[in-house]
Structure 1
Amino acid sequence: MAPHCPATQLDRVKGTWAITAETPLGPSGCYRASLSNGEFLLSTLQLIPRFLKDVFFSPPKHPRAPRCSQAGAARPVAALSSTSFVRGKATLPDLPYDYNALEPYISAKIMELHHSKHHQTYVNGFNTALQTVAEAEAAGDLTKAASQAPLINFHGGGHLNHSLFWENLAPSSRDGGGEPAGSLKSAIGEDFGSFDALRKEVNTALAGIQGSGWAWLVKDKTTGTLSVVTRANQDPVTGNLIPLLGIDAWEHAYYLQYENRKVEYFDAIWNVINWKTVAKRFEN
């Protein structure tokens, strides 16, 4: 069972605020998260994964004066940092291109099912899990709230990964394919030797995934170096790594078109990679 904080230690959170710092509270797994409005949230690393803090929480334009409330149970902080969130709920982001725009490399049918069905399922599951957490914490049932952690990680990770994935792609007639330029190209040359070497390493990582998962080109926040990592299922890239480019190795991303020839999909998708988006993430 995932650890949870004692009810007497929970502080109420109000509004939409950035989490600015975390302070571990011993071996229980609890932590105290400082918010930009001066309030605090005590919860577990399992219940509110770090990727939710890193990606989904954002500060308000006009913070309130610092204050802290000590009574009551914690509630999830509303997440409004991107267009895929509305009033604290995840929503399916619109694609910046038509479903058939990535053909012949990714078929229109795959894109339609992948976006409107699979991604929508992650959005729905994430919202349902957060609602269950809110209701359970309001009722003081922290065990039930903590039990939603795997669902938050899976569906929240699925929503995050796919939101990044769609932005990684573009029609070959509009920024898709080719090779990176500028500082990103230089960094790839320094850390991998060449663009072809990077492509080979990513494809090798994708082919080595057992079951379902993702391969990512990431940047280390501290050193700025680039590397390739894999994540199982819908686990997101977290911690000190910034996801720059992700490629979905789940069967739903390719099977209708490539069947069991997934290596062909891994080769084909490079023709629709939007390197301008990858470069912006790298430079930021």
Structure 2
Amino acid sequence: MTTDAAGTTAGSPSDRIDTSVAHPARRYNYWLGGKDNFQADRESGDAITAAFPTVRTAALENRRFLQRTVGYLAREAGIRQFLDIGTGIPTADNTHEVAQAIEPESRVVYVDNDPIVLAHARALLSSSTAGATAYIDADLRDPQRILAHPELSRTIDLSQPVALMLVAVLHFLPDDDDPYALVRQLLDALPAGSYLAASHGTHDYLPPAVAADFRAKARSGGPHGLINLRARDEFARFFADLELVEPGITSVAEWRAESEPPPRPSAVEVSMYGAVARLP
């Protein structure tokens, strides 16, 4: 992606589609059994599957976590505005569909930096007539671009509570990007009563050799879409000074999953933390 001096993406979205490099959204689509992926995505996905054979289970459980958190936020917390960053290629029960099924007036802004994701989103994610959806071409590493975008101000009222959705996206940010500062910039723009919902891959449950391999690859850099796994205490830092919603930080497979049909996967199989917290 190239940008001009103002931080605006240069060129048309199609100019930025590089099918030779794996992209997290397309790799995730591959794990979920979708068709919107390319050879590089499949090769990257297979390499991760070789090290972590239950990764498809993790992807499915992460998706269910998103649906349950949106349901909680819309139904129990009364949230009517959602900022979903790292949207991914649309599948069933997307953020606005879950929220608007509960409250048709819900308003959702989707953000992603993959032009393929944005093309699918604009074509497939239609809002209820009472609510609204918008789509921003931007990167989580540029929170000010997201916050200043006209589509955001047209769709979401930042003086009213917002649910910031960072589901399975933070682990694509290396420590050098200072992900904690990026999240704090976004949270600082939201009023009291807003929420952060996030999930993050972890090495806590992986065999030591596999965990060491993931850490080594993260340190060495590498292709777009590298996963930077973090420990529970590192994930907890994203929720500093926030009020965690019960059951707190737990496996995405276990977060308010009482209504999910058995058999349920274990935290070891999923190897991903999730949590929801309120801004006091």
TM-score, normalised relative to structure 1: 0.25
Q: Which has the larger radius of gyration?
A: 1
TM-score, normalised relative to structure 2: 0.25
